[in-house]
Structure 1
Amino acid sequence: MLFIEIFVPRDALDADRCRQLAQSLLGLMTGDGEEGMAGPAADIFASQFHVVVHRPETWVVGDRLADDPTPYMVRVHAPGPWRKDTSGHIIGAFTKAITDVDPGAAVQVHVLGVPEGSIGVRGEAKTSTELVEMMNDPLKYAYAAGKALLDPMCGMLVEPDKAPTLEYEGTLYGFCCEGCRTEFIAKKEKAAAGTG
Protein backbone atom coordinates (compact mmCIF):
# COMPACT_ATOMS: atom_id res chain seq x y z
CA MET A 1 0.00 0.00 0.00
CA LEU A 2 2.81 2.40 0.81
CA PHE A 3 6.19 1.87 -0.79
CA ILE A 4 8.99 3.97 0.63
CA GLU A 5 12.35 4.36 -1.10
CA ILE A 6 15.26 6.05 0.64
CA PHE A 7 18.27 7.07 -1.41
CA VAL A 8 21.32 7.42 0.84
CA PRO A 9 24.82 8.31 -0.39
CA ARG A 10 26.98 5.18 -0.28
CA ASP A 11 29.34 6.38 2.48
CA ALA A 12 26.83 8.36 4.58
CA LEU A 13 25.53 5.53 6.78
CA ASP A 14 26.68 1.99 7.45
CA ALA A 15 24.31 -0.93 6.78
CA ASP A 16 23.08 -1.08 10.38
CA ARG A 17 22.22 2.64 10.48
CA CYS A 18 20.47 2.31 7.09
CA ARG A 19 18.34 -0.50 8.55
CA GLN A 20 17.57 1.58 11.65
CA LEU A 21 16.57 4.56 9.49
CA ALA A 22 14.32 2.34 7.34
CA GLN A 23 12.64 0.92 10.45
CA SER A 24 12.23 4.42 11.87
CA LEU A 25 10.47 5.65 8.70
CA LEU A 26 8.30 2.53 8.65
CA GLY A 27 7.40 3.12 12.30
CA LEU A 28 6.36 6.69 11.52
CA MET A 29 3.85 5.35 9.00
CA THR A 30 2.57 2.33 10.90
CA GLY A 31 2.47 4.04 14.27
CA ASP A 32 4.67 1.60 16.13
CA GLY A 33 5.24 2.29 19.80
CA GLU A 34 2.90 4.32 21.96
CA GLU A 35 1.75 6.65 19.16
CA GLY A 36 0.12 4.01 17.00
CA MET A 37 -2.40 1.26 17.00
CA ALA A 38 -1.85 -2.32 18.10
CA GLY A 39 -3.52 -5.68 17.59
CA PRO A 40 -4.70 -7.56 14.48
CA ALA A 41 -5.62 -4.44 12.47
CA ALA A 42 -2.16 -3.01 13.14
CA ASP A 43 -0.52 -6.22 11.92
CA ILE A 44 -2.45 -6.10 8.63
CA PHE A 45 -1.78 -2.35 8.30
CA ALA A 46 1.97 -2.80 8.87
CA SER A 47 2.16 -5.69 6.40
CA GLN A 48 1.18 -3.31 3.60
CA PHE A 49 4.19 -1.01 4.07
CA HIS A 50 7.58 -1.64 2.49
CA VAL A 51 10.83 0.29 2.80
CA VAL A 52 13.80 -0.09 0.47
CA VAL A 53 17.13 1.66 1.02
CA HIS A 54 19.17 2.45 -2.09
CA ARG A 55 22.85 3.35 -1.82
CA PRO A 56 23.71 4.49 -5.37
CA GLU A 57 27.22 4.02 -6.72
CA THR A 58 27.13 7.49 -8.29
CA TRP A 59 25.14 10.52 -7.15
CA VAL A 60 25.55 13.85 -8.90
CA VAL A 61 24.02 17.13 -7.73
CA GLY A 62 24.29 19.93 -10.26
CA ASP A 63 27.84 19.70 -11.59
CA ARG A 64 29.46 17.86 -8.67
CA LEU A 65 29.35 14.57 -6.85
CA ALA A 66 26.98 14.63 -3.91
CA ASP A 67 28.85 14.99 -0.65
CA ASP A 68 28.36 18.24 1.28
CA PRO A 69 25.75 18.59 2.60
CA THR A 70 24.92 14.91 2.47
CA PRO A 71 21.81 14.52 0.30
CA TYR A 72 18.97 12.15 1.08
CA MET A 73 16.05 11.54 -1.24
CA VAL A 74 12.87 9.83 -0.11
CA ARG A 75 10.07 8.75 -2.41
CA VAL A 76 6.82 7.66 -0.82
CA HIS A 77 4.33 5.95 -3.12
CA ALA A 78 0.85 6.24 -1.58
CA PRO A 79 -2.67 5.65 -2.85
CA GLY A 80 -3.58 8.81 -4.79
CA PRO A 81 -6.56 9.82 -2.63
CA TRP A 82 -4.35 9.73 0.49
CA ARG A 83 -1.50 11.82 -0.92
CA LYS A 84 -2.89 15.25 -0.14
CA ASP A 85 -3.92 14.47 3.44
CA THR A 86 -0.70 12.64 4.33
CA SER A 87 1.98 14.69 2.54
CA GLY A 88 2.47 17.33 5.23
CA HIS A 89 2.91 14.77 7.98
CA ILE A 90 5.15 12.49 5.90
CA ILE A 91 7.46 15.28 4.71
CA GLY A 92 7.90 16.77 8.19
CA ALA A 93 8.28 13.47 10.04
CA PHE A 94 10.66 11.89 7.50
CA THR A 95 12.85 15.01 7.30
CA LYS A 96 13.14 15.05 11.10
CA ALA A 97 13.92 11.31 11.28
CA ILE A 98 16.75 11.70 8.75
CA THR A 99 18.24 14.85 10.28
CA ASP A 100 18.13 13.16 13.70
CA VAL A 101 20.44 10.47 12.22
CA ASP A 102 22.53 12.85 10.10
CA PRO A 103 22.14 16.47 11.37
CA GLY A 104 23.83 18.08 8.36
CA ALA A 105 21.73 16.24 5.77
CA ALA A 106 19.95 17.92 2.87
CA VAL A 107 16.64 16.08 2.66
CA GLN A 108 14.06 15.97 -0.10
CA VAL A 109 10.86 13.99 0.35
CA HIS A 110 8.51 13.34 -2.56
CA VAL A 111 5.05 11.93 -1.89
CA LEU A 112 3.75 10.37 -5.09
CA GLY A 113 0.10 9.45 -5.55
CA VAL A 114 -0.51 6.07 -7.17
CA PRO A 115 -3.62 6.32 -9.40
CA GLU A 116 -6.77 4.83 -7.90
CA GLY A 117 -7.07 1.11 -8.63
CA SER A 118 -3.36 0.75 -9.47
CA ILE A 119 -2.20 -1.01 -6.32
CA GLY A 120 -2.23 -4.79 -6.53
CA VAL A 121 -2.68 -6.89 -3.40
CA ARG A 122 -3.00 -10.66 -3.54
CA GLY A 123 -3.17 -10.53 -7.33
CA GLU A 124 -6.03 -8.01 -7.50
CA ALA A 125 -6.12 -4.28 -8.22
CA LYS A 126 -7.42 -2.46 -5.14
CA THR A 127 -8.90 1.00 -4.70
CA SER A 128 -7.98 3.01 -1.59
CA THR A 129 -11.42 2.17 -0.15
CA GLU A 130 -10.85 -1.55 -0.73
CA LEU A 131 -7.45 -1.33 0.96
CA VAL A 132 -9.01 0.25 4.04
CA GLU A 133 -11.79 -2.36 4.06
CA MET A 134 -9.17 -5.12 3.94
CA MET A 135 -7.30 -3.60 6.87
CA ASN A 136 -10.52 -3.01 8.81
CA ASP A 137 -11.71 -6.61 8.51
CA PRO A 138 -10.37 -7.75 11.93
CA LEU A 139 -12.30 -4.99 13.73
CA LYS A 140 -15.59 -4.82 11.80
CA TYR A 141 -17.51 -6.80 14.45
CA ALA A 142 -15.97 -4.74 17.29
CA TYR A 143 -17.03 -1.56 15.45
CA ALA A 144 -20.59 -2.87 15.03
CA ALA A 145 -20.64 -3.59 18.77
CA GLY A 146 -19.40 -0.08 19.62
CA LYS A 147 -15.98 -1.32 20.75
CA ALA A 148 -13.93 0.22 17.95
CA LEU A 149 -13.72 3.75 16.54
CA LEU A 150 -13.54 4.99 12.96
CA ASP A 151 -10.58 7.24 12.16
CA PRO A 152 -12.25 10.32 10.60
CA MET A 153 -9.19 11.04 8.47
CA CYS A 154 -8.51 7.73 6.71
CA GLY A 155 -11.43 5.45 7.59
CA MET A 156 -9.37 2.92 9.55
CA LEU A 157 -11.04 1.13 12.45
CA VAL A 158 -9.08 1.28 15.70
CA GLU A 159 -9.40 -0.02 19.23
CA PRO A 160 -9.62 3.03 21.53
CA ASP A 161 -7.35 1.51 24.18
CA LYS A 162 -4.64 0.72 21.60
CA ALA A 163 -4.64 3.82 19.39
CA PRO A 164 -4.23 7.59 19.66
CA THR A 165 -7.54 9.24 20.64
CA LEU A 166 -8.91 12.72 21.06
CA GLU A 167 -12.08 13.98 22.67
CA TYR A 168 -13.33 16.90 20.61
CA GLU A 169 -16.57 18.74 21.29
CA GLY A 170 -17.87 15.83 23.36
CA THR A 171 -17.05 13.10 20.83
CA LEU A 172 -14.25 10.58 21.24
CA TYR A 173 -12.26 10.08 18.04
CA GLY A 174 -9.72 7.31 17.40
CA PHE A 175 -6.84 7.49 14.94
CA CYS A 176 -4.70 4.88 13.22
CA CYS A 177 -1.57 6.93 13.93
CA GLU A 178 -0.41 10.21 15.38
CA GLY A 179 -0.24 11.68 11.85
CA CYS A 180 -3.99 11.29 11.33
CA ARG A 181 -4.64 12.80 14.77
CA THR A 182 -2.39 15.77 13.98
CA GLU A 183 -4.09 16.33 10.60
CA PHE A 184 -7.53 16.15 12.24
CA ILE A 185 -6.57 18.81 14.80
CA ALA A 186 -5.10 21.04 12.07
CA LYS A 187 -8.29 20.78 9.98
CA LYS A 188 -10.50 21.59 12.98
CA GLU A 189 -8.29 24.58 13.93
CA LYS A 190 -8.34 25.84 10.34
CA ALA A 191 -12.14 25.51 10.20
CA ALA A 192 -12.53 27.30 13.55
CA ALA A 193 -10.33 30.14 12.29
CA GLY A 194 -12.52 30.45 9.21
CA THR A 195 -9.69 29.63 6.82
CA GLY A 196 -10.84 26.14 5.89
Structure 2
Amino acid sequence: MTENEPTETSGDPPHLAAVSDGDVAALEAELADRGEAYARVTIVRREPPVSANVGDRAVVTGDGELHGWIGGAACAQTTAISEAKAAIDDGKPRLVGIAPDPDEVDRPGLEAFPMHCHSEGVLELFVEPVNPTPELLIVGDSPVARSLTRIAGELAVDVVLVDPDAGDDHAADRVIESTDPDAVADAVGRSPLVVVASMGKYDARGVAAGVAADASYVGLVASDTRSGEVIERAATVLDTDPERVRGAVTNPAGVDVEAYTPAEIAVSILAEVVDARAAAATTASHPRRSPVGEESATEDGANTEETSESRNGADSGESTRDAAEDETATPELATDPVCGMTADPETAPAVEHGGETYYFCCEGCADSFRAEPESYLEREAA
Protein backbone atom coordinates (compact mmCIF):
# COMPACT_ATOMS: atom_id res chain seq x y z
CA MET A 1 0.00 0.00 0.00
CA THR A 2 1.44 3.41 -0.94
CA GLU A 3 1.68 6.39 1.36
CA ASN A 4 -1.09 8.29 -0.43
CA GLU A 5 -3.59 5.47 -0.76
CA PRO A 6 -6.76 6.31 1.22
CA THR A 7 -7.42 3.90 4.04
CA GLU A 8 -9.73 3.74 7.00
CA THR A 9 -7.58 3.50 10.09
CA SER A 10 -8.60 1.15 12.86
CA GLY A 11 -9.47 4.04 15.14
CA ASP A 12 -11.76 5.80 12.68
CA PRO A 13 -15.54 5.52 13.04
CA PRO A 14 -17.27 4.02 9.99
CA HIS A 15 -18.56 7.34 8.65
CA LEU A 16 -14.99 8.56 8.10
CA ALA A 17 -14.25 5.94 5.46
CA ALA A 18 -12.85 7.36 2.23
CA VAL A 19 -15.27 8.01 -0.60
CA SER A 20 -14.67 9.02 -4.20
CA ASP A 21 -14.89 12.57 -5.58
CA GLY A 22 -18.06 11.50 -7.33
CA ASP A 23 -19.62 10.48 -4.04
CA VAL A 24 -18.69 13.81 -2.46
CA ALA A 25 -20.12 15.74 -5.43
CA ALA A 26 -23.32 13.70 -5.27
CA LEU A 27 -23.62 14.38 -1.54
CA GLU A 28 -23.16 18.12 -2.12
CA ALA A 29 -25.91 18.06 -4.74
CA GLU A 30 -28.19 16.16 -2.37
CA LEU A 31 -27.56 18.60 0.49
CA ALA A 32 -28.18 21.55 -1.83
CA ASP A 33 -31.47 20.02 -3.01
CA ARG A 34 -32.53 19.59 0.62
CA GLY A 35 -31.47 23.13 1.49
CA GLU A 36 -29.04 21.92 4.16
CA ALA A 37 -25.95 23.85 5.20
CA TYR A 38 -22.58 22.11 4.98
CA ALA A 39 -18.88 22.88 4.68
CA ARG A 40 -16.48 21.88 1.92
CA VAL A 41 -13.00 20.95 3.19
CA THR A 42 -10.12 20.85 0.66
CA ILE A 43 -6.44 20.04 1.22
CA VAL A 44 -4.38 22.91 -0.20
CA ARG A 45 -0.94 21.93 1.16
CA ARG A 46 0.69 18.83 2.64
CA GLU A 47 4.03 17.66 3.99
CA PRO A 48 4.62 13.91 4.35
CA PRO A 49 4.05 11.63 6.04
CA VAL A 50 0.30 12.11 5.55
CA SER A 51 -2.04 9.82 3.63
CA ALA A 52 -3.68 12.55 1.55
CA ASN A 53 -2.85 14.74 -1.44
CA VAL A 54 -3.43 18.35 -2.38
CA GLY A 55 -6.91 18.55 -3.85
CA ASP A 56 -8.40 15.77 -1.73
CA ARG A 57 -11.63 16.94 -0.22
CA ALA A 58 -14.48 16.14 2.09
CA VAL A 59 -17.87 17.44 3.11
CA VAL A 60 -18.85 18.08 6.72
CA THR A 61 -22.58 18.27 7.42
CA GLY A 62 -24.18 20.51 10.00
CA ASP A 63 -24.39 17.69 12.53
CA GLY A 64 -20.64 17.02 12.28
CA GLU A 65 -20.53 14.03 9.93
CA LEU A 66 -17.42 13.95 7.69
CA HIS A 67 -17.71 12.34 4.25
CA GLY A 68 -14.75 12.18 1.92
CA TRP A 69 -10.98 11.97 2.32
CA ILE A 70 -8.57 14.36 4.00
CA GLY A 71 -6.22 11.69 5.33
CA GLY A 72 -6.49 9.05 8.01
CA ALA A 73 -5.15 11.10 10.96
CA ALA A 74 -7.86 11.40 13.59
CA CYS A 75 -6.45 14.74 14.77
CA ALA A 76 -6.89 16.18 11.28
CA GLN A 77 -10.43 14.83 11.02
CA THR A 78 -11.39 16.18 14.44
CA THR A 79 -9.99 19.62 13.64
CA ALA A 80 -11.66 19.65 10.23
CA ILE A 81 -15.03 18.78 11.76
CA SER A 82 -14.85 21.38 14.54
CA GLU A 83 -13.68 24.14 12.19
CA ALA A 84 -16.26 23.17 9.56
CA LYS A 85 -19.08 23.40 12.09
CA ALA A 86 -17.78 26.80 13.20
CA ALA A 87 -17.69 27.94 9.57
CA ILE A 88 -21.27 26.80 9.03
CA ASP A 89 -22.34 28.74 12.12
CA ASP A 90 -20.63 32.04 11.30
CA GLY A 91 -20.69 31.74 7.50
CA LYS A 92 -16.97 32.56 7.19
CA PRO A 93 -14.38 30.47 5.33
CA ARG A 94 -11.06 29.76 7.02
CA LEU A 95 -7.60 28.41 6.27
CA VAL A 96 -6.53 25.80 8.83
CA GLY A 97 -3.04 24.43 9.44
CA ILE A 98 -2.33 21.22 11.37
CA ALA A 99 1.29 20.46 12.30
CA PRO A 100 3.33 18.79 15.09
CA ASP A 101 4.60 22.30 15.92
CA PRO A 102 1.78 24.75 15.11
CA ASP A 103 4.19 27.71 15.33
CA GLU A 104 5.94 26.47 12.20
CA VAL A 105 2.84 26.98 10.04
CA ASP A 106 1.22 29.81 11.96
CA ARG A 107 0.89 33.01 9.92
CA PRO A 108 -1.65 35.78 9.32
CA GLY A 109 -4.84 34.44 7.79
CA LEU A 110 -4.26 30.86 9.00
CA GLU A 111 -5.46 29.18 12.19
CA ALA A 112 -2.85 26.68 13.42
CA PHE A 113 -3.61 23.51 15.39
CA PRO A 114 -1.37 20.77 16.79
CA MET A 115 -0.96 17.40 15.08
CA HIS A 116 -0.75 14.91 17.97
CA CYS A 117 -1.33 11.74 15.97
CA HIS A 118 1.60 9.38 15.46
CA SER A 119 1.57 9.91 11.69
CA GLU A 120 2.76 13.52 12.16
CA GLY A 121 3.10 15.39 8.86
CA VAL A 122 1.54 18.74 7.97
CA LEU A 123 -1.83 19.56 6.44
CA GLU A 124 -3.38 22.83 5.43
CA LEU A 125 -7.11 22.84 4.79
CA PHE A 126 -9.41 25.39 3.19
CA VAL A 127 -12.79 25.21 4.92
CA GLU A 128 -15.62 26.78 2.93
CA PRO A 129 -19.16 27.03 4.35
CA VAL A 130 -22.04 26.48 1.94
CA ASN A 131 -25.23 27.89 3.39
CA PRO A 132 -28.39 27.74 1.28
CA THR A 133 -30.05 30.98 0.23
CA PRO A 134 -32.99 31.46 2.61
CA GLU A 135 -36.49 31.61 1.20
CA LEU A 136 -38.79 34.52 2.02
CA LEU A 137 -42.36 33.26 1.75
CA ILE A 138 -44.84 36.12 1.25
CA VAL A 139 -48.48 35.12 1.67
CA GLY A 140 -51.10 37.34 0.07
CA ASP A 141 -51.84 39.82 -2.71
CA SER A 142 -52.40 42.93 -0.57
CA PRO A 143 -50.59 46.24 -1.25
CA VAL A 144 -48.17 45.38 1.60
CA ALA A 145 -47.49 41.93 0.11
CA ARG A 146 -46.86 43.45 -3.33
CA SER A 147 -44.45 46.02 -1.87
CA LEU A 148 -42.68 43.26 0.07
CA THR A 149 -42.31 41.14 -3.05
CA ARG A 150 -40.86 44.04 -5.03
CA ILE A 151 -38.43 45.40 -2.39
CA ALA A 152 -37.29 41.97 -1.11
CA GLY A 153 -35.72 41.33 -4.51
CA GLU A 154 -32.81 43.51 -3.33
CA LEU A 155 -32.04 41.12 -0.45
CA ALA A 156 -30.10 37.86 -0.57
CA VAL A 157 -33.25 35.74 -0.39
CA ASP A 158 -35.36 33.69 -2.78
CA VAL A 159 -38.76 35.39 -2.86
CA VAL A 160 -41.64 32.91 -2.95
CA LEU A 161 -45.16 34.29 -3.31
CA VAL A 162 -48.27 32.42 -2.17
CA ASP A 163 -51.12 33.78 -4.25
CA PRO A 164 -53.69 31.71 -6.19
CA ASP A 165 -54.33 34.68 -8.53
CA ALA A 166 -50.77 35.97 -9.00
CA GLY A 167 -50.68 35.78 -12.79
CA ASP A 168 -47.53 37.17 -14.40
CA ASP A 169 -47.54 40.60 -12.77
CA HIS A 170 -45.23 39.96 -9.80
CA ALA A 171 -41.57 40.28 -8.82
CA ALA A 172 -41.25 36.93 -7.02
CA ASP A 173 -38.72 34.26 -7.95
CA ARG A 174 -41.53 31.72 -7.98
CA VAL A 175 -45.21 31.43 -7.09
CA ILE A 176 -47.15 28.84 -5.12
CA GLU A 177 -50.78 28.93 -6.18
CA SER A 178 -52.11 26.61 -3.49
CA THR A 179 -53.00 27.93 -0.03
CA ASP A 180 -53.12 24.45 1.50
CA PRO A 181 -50.68 24.62 4.46
CA ASP A 182 -49.17 21.17 3.89
CA ALA A 183 -48.71 21.83 0.16
CA VAL A 184 -47.03 25.18 0.88
CA ALA A 185 -44.77 23.68 3.57
CA ASP A 186 -43.74 20.88 1.20
CA ALA A 187 -42.96 23.37 -1.57
CA VAL A 188 -40.41 25.39 0.42
CA GLY A 189 -37.02 24.49 1.83
CA ARG A 190 -35.69 24.30 5.36
CA SER A 191 -36.63 27.03 7.86
CA PRO A 192 -38.07 29.68 5.54
CA LEU A 193 -38.86 33.23 6.58
CA VAL A 194 -42.61 33.85 6.32
CA VAL A 195 -44.62 37.06 6.12
CA VAL A 196 -48.40 36.71 6.06
CA ALA A 197 -50.16 39.75 4.57
CA SER A 198 -53.30 38.57 2.80
CA MET A 199 -55.43 40.92 4.94
CA GLY A 200 -57.92 38.27 5.97
CA LYS A 201 -58.20 36.26 2.76
CA TYR A 202 -56.07 33.29 3.88
CA ASP A 203 -54.03 34.58 6.80
CA ALA A 204 -54.74 31.53 8.96
CA ARG A 205 -53.61 29.16 6.24
CA GLY A 206 -50.46 31.23 5.73
CA VAL A 207 -49.62 31.14 9.44
CA ALA A 208 -50.35 27.41 9.54
CA ALA A 209 -48.01 26.88 6.59
CA GLY A 210 -45.25 28.79 8.34
CA VAL A 211 -45.62 26.74 11.52
CA ALA A 212 -45.81 23.47 9.55
CA ALA A 213 -42.61 24.40 7.67
CA ASP A 214 -40.82 25.15 10.96
CA ALA A 215 -40.21 28.71 9.77
CA SER A 216 -37.52 30.65 11.60
CA TYR A 217 -39.76 33.72 11.41
CA VAL A 218 -43.52 34.08 10.91
CA GLY A 219 -44.58 37.72 10.71
CA LEU A 220 -48.28 38.57 10.59
CA VAL A 221 -49.63 41.88 9.28
CA ALA A 222 -52.79 42.30 11.35
CA SER A 223 -54.31 44.23 14.22
CA ASP A 224 -54.11 42.73 17.70
CA THR A 225 -57.78 41.77 17.58
CA ARG A 226 -57.59 40.04 14.22
CA SER A 227 -54.27 38.34 15.02
CA GLY A 228 -55.92 36.45 17.89
CA GLU A 229 -58.60 35.15 15.54
CA VAL A 230 -56.00 34.18 12.92
CA ILE A 231 -53.94 32.24 15.47
CA GLU A 232 -57.01 30.34 16.71
CA ARG A 233 -57.98 29.41 13.13
CA ALA A 234 -54.41 28.39 12.29
CA ALA A 235 -54.34 26.14 15.35
CA THR A 236 -57.57 24.53 14.16
CA VAL A 237 -56.11 23.97 10.69
CA LEU A 238 -53.03 22.32 12.26
CA ASP A 239 -55.03 20.51 14.94
CA THR A 240 -52.60 21.79 17.54
CA ASP A 241 -52.44 23.94 20.68
CA PRO A 242 -53.03 27.65 19.93
CA GLU A 243 -50.11 28.48 22.25
CA ARG A 244 -47.74 26.63 19.92
CA VAL A 245 -48.91 28.83 17.06
CA ARG A 246 -48.91 32.01 19.14
CA GLY A 247 -45.32 31.38 20.22
CA ALA A 248 -44.18 31.13 16.59
CA VAL A 249 -45.89 34.29 15.33
CA THR A 250 -44.58 37.86 15.45
CA ASN A 251 -47.42 40.38 15.37
CA PRO A 252 -47.49 43.14 14.49
CA ALA A 253 -44.69 42.32 12.06
CA GLY A 254 -41.91 44.83 11.55
CA VAL A 255 -39.64 47.08 13.56
CA ASP A 256 -41.11 50.02 15.47
CA VAL A 257 -40.95 52.95 13.04
CA GLU A 258 -43.52 55.48 11.86
CA ALA A 259 -44.63 53.43 8.84
CA TYR A 260 -48.05 54.04 7.26
CA THR A 261 -47.89 53.43 3.52
CA PRO A 262 -47.63 49.87 2.16
CA ALA A 263 -44.04 50.51 1.04
CA GLU A 264 -43.05 51.92 4.45
CA ILE A 265 -44.64 48.98 6.24
CA ALA A 266 -42.82 46.60 3.88
CA VAL A 267 -39.48 48.25 4.71
CA SER A 268 -40.12 47.91 8.46
CA ILE A 269 -40.98 44.23 8.01
CA LEU A 270 -37.91 43.53 5.87
CA ALA A 271 -35.69 45.11 8.53
CA GLU A 272 -37.02 42.55 10.98
CA VAL A 273 -36.63 39.78 8.38
CA VAL A 274 -32.94 40.66 7.96
CA ASP A 275 -32.43 40.27 11.72
CA ALA A 276 -34.36 37.00 11.78
CA ARG A 277 -32.36 35.70 8.82
CA ALA A 278 -29.09 36.26 10.69
CA ALA A 279 -30.43 34.37 13.70
CA ALA A 280 -31.71 31.55 11.47
CA ALA A 281 -28.35 31.09 9.74
CA THR A 282 -26.92 29.29 12.78
CA THR A 283 -29.75 26.76 12.83
CA ALA A 284 -29.96 25.99 9.13
CA SER A 285 -28.81 22.40 9.57
CA HIS A 286 -31.47 21.29 12.08
CA PRO A 287 -34.52 19.13 11.29
CA ARG A 288 -37.11 20.94 9.33
CA ARG A 289 -40.59 20.44 10.67
CA SER A 290 -42.77 18.99 13.39
CA PRO A 291 -45.66 16.65 12.63
CA VAL A 292 -49.00 18.38 12.28
CA GLY A 293 -52.50 17.04 12.41
CA GLU A 294 -55.04 16.68 9.65
CA GLU A 295 -55.90 19.89 7.83
CA SER A 296 -59.22 21.48 8.66
CA ALA A 297 -61.39 22.69 5.83
CA THR A 298 -61.89 25.99 7.69
CA GLU A 299 -61.07 29.03 5.53
CA ASP A 300 -60.35 32.50 6.87
CA GLY A 301 -63.16 34.97 7.08
CA ALA A 302 -63.73 37.77 4.59
CA ASN A 303 -62.30 40.50 6.83
CA THR A 304 -60.15 42.61 4.54
CA GLU A 305 -59.09 45.37 6.97
CA GLU A 306 -55.65 46.82 6.35
CA THR A 307 -53.71 48.40 9.19
CA SER A 308 -50.50 50.26 9.78
CA GLU A 309 -50.10 48.40 13.11
CA SER A 310 -47.61 46.05 11.43
CA ARG A 311 -44.75 47.32 13.54
CA ASN A 312 -42.92 46.71 16.81
CA GLY A 313 -42.89 42.88 16.77
CA ALA A 314 -39.48 42.77 18.40
CA ASP A 315 -40.51 41.40 21.79
CA SER A 316 -42.43 38.44 20.36
CA GLY A 317 -39.73 37.80 17.76
CA GLU A 318 -36.97 37.79 20.37
CA SER A 319 -38.80 35.27 22.55
CA THR A 320 -39.33 33.00 19.54
CA ARG A 321 -35.66 33.17 18.59
CA ASP A 322 -34.55 32.57 22.19
CA ALA A 323 -36.75 29.48 22.35
CA ALA A 324 -35.27 28.18 19.11
CA GLU A 325 -31.75 28.71 20.42
CA ASP A 326 -32.60 26.88 23.66
CA GLU A 327 -33.93 23.88 21.73
CA THR A 328 -30.79 23.64 19.60
CA ALA A 329 -28.26 24.42 22.33
CA THR A 330 -24.92 22.68 21.94
CA PRO A 331 -24.24 20.05 24.64
CA GLU A 332 -21.37 20.79 27.06
CA LEU A 333 -18.03 19.66 25.64
CA ALA A 334 -14.89 18.51 27.42
CA THR A 335 -11.32 19.64 26.74
CA ASP A 336 -8.74 17.09 25.65
CA PRO A 337 -5.87 17.46 28.21
CA VAL A 338 -3.33 16.31 25.59
CA CYS A 339 -4.01 18.58 22.61
CA GLY A 340 -6.54 21.08 23.95
CA MET A 341 -9.20 20.15 21.39
CA THR A 342 -12.86 19.86 22.37
CA ALA A 343 -14.39 16.41 22.80
CA ASP A 344 -18.01 15.30 23.03
CA PRO A 345 -18.35 13.15 26.20
CA GLU A 346 -21.11 11.13 24.54
CA THR A 347 -18.87 9.82 21.75
CA ALA A 348 -15.24 10.60 22.65
CA PRO A 349 -12.65 8.09 23.94
CA ALA A 350 -12.43 8.28 27.74
CA VAL A 351 -9.78 7.43 30.34
CA GLU A 352 -10.33 7.08 34.10
CA HIS A 353 -7.52 8.45 36.26
CA GLY A 354 -7.44 9.44 39.91
CA GLY A 355 -11.19 9.15 40.23
CA GLU A 356 -11.77 11.52 37.30
CA THR A 357 -12.88 10.83 33.74
CA TYR A 358 -10.98 12.55 30.92
CA TYR A 359 -12.18 12.74 27.33
CA PHE A 360 -10.10 12.91 24.15
CA CYS A 361 -10.51 13.96 20.54
CA CYS A 362 -9.07 10.66 19.30
CA GLU A 363 -7.58 7.36 20.46
CA GLY A 364 -4.05 8.68 19.84
CA CYS A 365 -4.46 11.36 22.50
CA ALA A 366 -6.08 8.86 24.85
CA ASP A 367 -3.10 6.50 24.46
CA SER A 368 -0.64 9.33 25.10
CA PHE A 369 -2.51 10.26 28.28
CA ARG A 370 -2.58 6.67 29.53
CA ALA A 371 1.20 6.49 29.17
CA GLU A 372 1.98 9.74 31.02
CA PRO A 373 -1.14 11.13 32.70
CA GLU A 374 0.64 13.22 35.31
CA SER A 375 2.76 15.11 32.77
CA TYR A 376 -0.33 16.24 30.88
CA LEU A 377 -2.25 17.12 34.03
CA GLU A 378 0.68 19.17 35.34
CA ARG A 379 0.90 21.02 32.02
CA GLU A 380 -2.85 21.64 32.06
CA ALA A 381 -2.71 22.98 35.61
CA ALA A 382 0.18 25.30 34.70
- The interval holding the TM-score normalised by the smaller chain is 0.3 to 0.5
Report the structure number with the largest CA radius of gyration: 2
TM-score, normalising length: structure 1: 0.36
Task: Calculate the TM-score normalised by the size of structure 2.
Answer: 0.20
Higher strand share: 1
